[in-house]
Amino acid sequence: MKIPVALSAQSPSAEMARRAGVGFSVIFIALALYLLSPGARAAGSESAPELMGVCATCHGDFGQGGARGEYPRLAGLPAKYIESQLKSFRARKRINIPMFPYTEERELSDEDIRAISGYLSGITLPTAQPKFKGDEDALTRLQMMEKVMIVPRVEGDIANGGKIYQKECYTCHAKDGRGRGSFPMLVGQYSNYLRKQVNSYLKGERAHDEEDSRGILAELKDTDIRDILAYLTSIQPQE
């Protein structure tokens, strides 16, 4: 872009310096506008696959969790929830000793947390066995099968579990159990992991909500919790 220059009695060297300064200012403004653009911010998320390599050791290559629920599913969780939990680990508000080294700021910056949270949130895991076209190689077929996430059914009173869930839980976790905002999905998460977290809430080891460290869970019987888990496994989408 040509910048009009006013006439002056400056020396040639001064004029050249002034023009250089104007040129630098234009470049600086253009660079600043680019860095603030959505495209530039998205480009920063390219570090997420590298970060995923660290997470995959426990949580799986696709964020599907591992060790049959010992390590939870992360794929598809709301980004705000993942981000809040990583920061809670870092601040020691949520006690999880294995996670402490990975969430130190020198290991995982705020930018990294936003990147990996968005990356994991965007992963979709199918809930039905894949249908092969016939032209896939063996590795592709294996990866397609590994991404399938079907949580085994829990025995219980599904009707009772659904009644309690739709009365007490849906406001935060959504009617379909997929979570929203800073509240996690429950459908599609390992039942044994959910049960372990419930026990942590009841023991006061992890806060369930701001009003009471145990929340509504303290009012439920053990069979009610079992029934809720049975209900959640019954409404997994078959797709």
Q: Of all helices (H) and strands (E), which one includes residue 194?
A: helix 191-202
Query: CA-CA distance, 94 to 197, in Å (whole number)?
Result: 12
Tallying the residues shown for the chain, one arrives at 239
Q: Is 208 annotated as a binding residue?
A: no
Q: Is 169 annotated as a binding residue?
A: yes
Q: Is 185 annotated as a binding residue?
A: no
CA angle 186, 191, 197 (to 5 degrees): 75
- H-only helix segments in 75-137: 79-90, 100-103, 110-121
Q: Is 144 annotated as a binding residue?
A: no
Q: Is 55 annotated as a binding residue?
A: yes
Name the residue type at position 181. Answer: G
Dihedral sign from CA coordinates of 138, 143, 146, 150: negative
Query: CA-CA distance, 228 to 165, in Å (whole number)?
Result: 6
Binding-site positions for heme c read 55, 58-59, 99, 169, 172-173
Binding-site positions read 55, 58-59, 99, 169, 172-173
